[in-house]
């Protein structure tokens, strides 16, 4: 009697009878196709996203890194010229390097605007010598950026000796 009453309640609310399971009305062939499609599409989408194929940059270009990069570009240009013209670089000014086509006026303007000091080349020294120097200052960071005659660049805390 109790089971009949329970069955009547289940029929009244539309519950499935017996061992029948709830279904979405989708047959198993369709579910298999959807499963296979997901197995193929999801890894491809993740691979494209991970390799940067969607054009989303994962690196943040900070002002400090931009300054470091610009000092490096100028330092490399000067060092290449110094390698080719080793006898001709001592005592030259930035204006002379612009006239020689080594630096552009934009490079010189950048150096002036960002207070990058050109120290000149020391032809008597075999090890890399500092040729460019600037102090990068922001709210939370203060660093000395030094460009060397071999094209390398290093950043130091301001209180660290050169």
**Does pLDDT of 142 surpass 60?**
yes
Q: Which of 71, 58, 76, 66 is nearest to 141 (CA)?
A: 66
**Are 90 and 81 a contacting pair, CB within 8 Å?**
no
Q: To the nearest whole number, what is the mean pLDDT of the chain? A: 80
List the domain boundaries for the chain. 63-157
Cβ–Cβ < 8 Å for 143, 67: no
pTM above 0.85, yes or no: no
Residue 35: the pLDDT is 83
Residue 149 in tokens: 């005659």
Query: How many H helices and E strands in the chain?
Result: 5, 4
| Cα→Cα distances 33→23, 26, 38, 76, 118, Å | 17, 11, 9, 57, 67
Tell me which H or E stretch contains 135: strand 130-137
Q: What is the pLDDT of residue 146?
A: 94
Identity of the highest mean pLDDT range in 15-24, 59-68, 76-85: 76-85
User: Which residues, listed in sequence order, are joined to residue 145 by a DSSP beta bridge?
Assistant: 134, 155
Query: Higher-confidence residue: 76 or 161?
Result: 76
């Amino acid at each position: 009697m109790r089971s009949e009453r329970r069955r009547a309640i289940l029929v009244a609310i539309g519950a499935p009878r017996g061992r029948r399971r709830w279904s979405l009305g989708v047959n198993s062939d369709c579910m298999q196709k959807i499963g296979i499609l997901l197995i193929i599409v999801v890894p491809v989408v993740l691979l494209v996203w991970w390799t940067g194929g969607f054009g989303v940059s994962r690196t943040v270009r900070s002002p400090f890194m931009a300054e470091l990069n610009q000092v490096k570009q100028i330092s490399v240009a000067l060092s290449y010229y110094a390698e080719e013209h080793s006898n001709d670089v001592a005592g030259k000014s930035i204006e002379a390097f612009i006239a020689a086509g080594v630096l552009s006026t934009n490079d010189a303007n950048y150096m002036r605007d960002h207070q990058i000091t050109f120290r000149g080349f020391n032809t008597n020294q075999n090890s890399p010598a500092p040729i460019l120097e600037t102090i990068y200052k922001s709210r939370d960071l203060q660093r000395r950026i030094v460009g060397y005659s071999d094209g390398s660049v290093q950043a130091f805390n301001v209180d660290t000796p050169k």
